[in-house]
Amino acid sequence: MRTETQFEGLPTGVEAEEARAGFVAVAMSGGVDSSTVAALLQEQARAVIGLTMQLWNQRRLPQLQGDGPAQHRCCSLDDVYDAKRVAQHLNFPHYVVNFEQQFEERVIRPFVDQYLSGRTPIACTNCNTDVKFEPLLRMARQIGAERLATGHYARIRRNDTTGRWELLRARDESKDQSYFLWGLTQEQLSKSEFPLGELTKDEVRAAARRVNLPVAEKPESMELCFVPNGNYVQFIEAYSLERGSPLSNTSGEIVNEDGDVVGRHNGVHNFTIGQRKGLGFAAGKPYYVLAIDREKNRVVVGDDESLRSVVCEVEGVNWISIARPDAAVRAAVKIRHKHVAAMATVEAIGEDRARVTFNEAQRAITAGQGAVFYGGERVLGGGWIGDGRKKNDADRSRH
């Protein structure tokens, strides 16, 4: 496989400028979506070059592999070969770029560290912001490609009035991936294309079949690329052991809201906010995880009503389609990918922080997840949900 510095076969010198003028690099995962993007761009008489990211050494953590590699994971070795097959079928150059170091530093380590701190992170958002776009756009420019196209279901447009690039929901709401893209910058949006944003999944499949793509019937990827067996907890434990910091003495108390001990746990990384099953103790009524206290190594449980909050604070906010507002704005806010966006007031409370006050209490607002602000079809901005149920309760009492 070629690494990120190996691009044999591309023209050089003055001829390169002419030969590569108008090139668009396609981020090819080996799935039907990104492969169809390449085919659609070719049909528009665009010059295409394929780039596939090598993100994770599949031979690492063999204890998690089981009898064979898990199916339907993105960015596996098979996906690399599938991307190569598509490029050969459509007859355009294809290269594998090695981003393993960036991926581990910017995605895997933060993922593990946040889980161990009691948060529930979103690896896909970090991957999009810190690996797929920033380094891949830089790589595309190095080989002469003017733009980067991906298989994301979202849309981009330029607002001629404000001069800003805007991120919009996909036309197919069931496939919309704008929730994972809130971290993109104006520069990244200006150089990116999402050709599937106007299409439904059925239309994408039909296009793939029409040009006989070898991956036209390939199932969708469902699991994280670096978790071979789909078990996050086992991955965190194996990865921690591999890097010389095995998890030990992680047991602690499970307490109710009054502080009474109702059970014990074997590590806070085994729990997420809102979890009901697998708590490890029996009770006469349903209990849900309300909070994870890493400092005291405790898991706090309670009833469903206590799981609901009106207010959360968001950090690392990136305002996309609008500039950071001076006054509070009304927006529909998603606190999870599958969450139905709920109306709220969003107030910027610093350079990169915001307070979100929902019209109605929302269930299981979880630290480490993304809160994404929508104004109609536009993504106004987004950020990471911060820690602290106490803050939520204090804010709720003031509203």
Tokens 């994408």 sit on residue: 204
Beta partners for 166?
157
201: exposed, middle or buried (Cβ count in 10 Å: 0-12, 13-18, 19+): middle
Instruction: Give the pLDDT band of residue 17 (cuts 50, 70, 90).
Output: very low
**Cα 108 to Cα 51, 119, 247, distances in angstroms:** 21, 14, 17
**Cα 349 to Cα 194, 328, 387, distances in angstroms:** 32, 10, 16
Residue 323 has pLDDT above 50, yes or no: yes
Beta partners for 73?
223
Instruction: Give the pLDDT band of residue 358 (cuts 50, 70, 90).
Output: very high
Residue 35 contacts residue 48 (beta carbons within 8 Å)? no
pLDDT of 265 reads 92
The reply to whether 127 belongs to the active site is: yes
pLDDT of 225 reads 75
Q: Name the DSSP class of 286.
A: -
Q: Which of 74, 75, 124, 127 is catalytic?
A: 127
What's the pTM? 0.87
H-helix or E-strand containing 397?
A: helix 389-398
pLDDT of 75 reads 61
Going by C-alpha positions, the residue among 79, 113, 388, 332 that lies closest to residue 239 is 113
Helix axes 32-43, 77-90, angle to 10 degrees: 20
71: exposed, middle or buried (Cβ count in 10 Å: 0-12, 13-18, 19+): exposed
Average pLDDT of span 28-35: 95
pLDDT digits (tens, 9 = 90+) for 275-307: 999 898 888 889 999 999 988 999 999 999 999
Going by C-alpha positions, the residue among 142, 137, 204, 210 that lies closest to residue 177 is 204
pLDDT higher at 382 or 67: 382
Average pLDDT of span 123-147: 88
Residue 398 has pLDDT above 90, yes or no: no
Average pLDDT of span 102-116: 92
* Secondary structure E strands in the chain: 23-27, 47-54, 94-98, 147-149, 155-158, 165-168, 192-193, 252-255, 261-265, 288-293, 298-302, 308-319, 329-334, 342-348, 353-363, 370-375, 378-385
The reply to whether 74 belongs to the active site is: no
pLDDT of 67 reads 57
230: exposed, middle or buried (Cβ count in 10 Å: 0-12, 13-18, 19+): middle
Instruction: Give the pLDDT band of residue 342 (cuts 50, 70, 90).
Output: very high
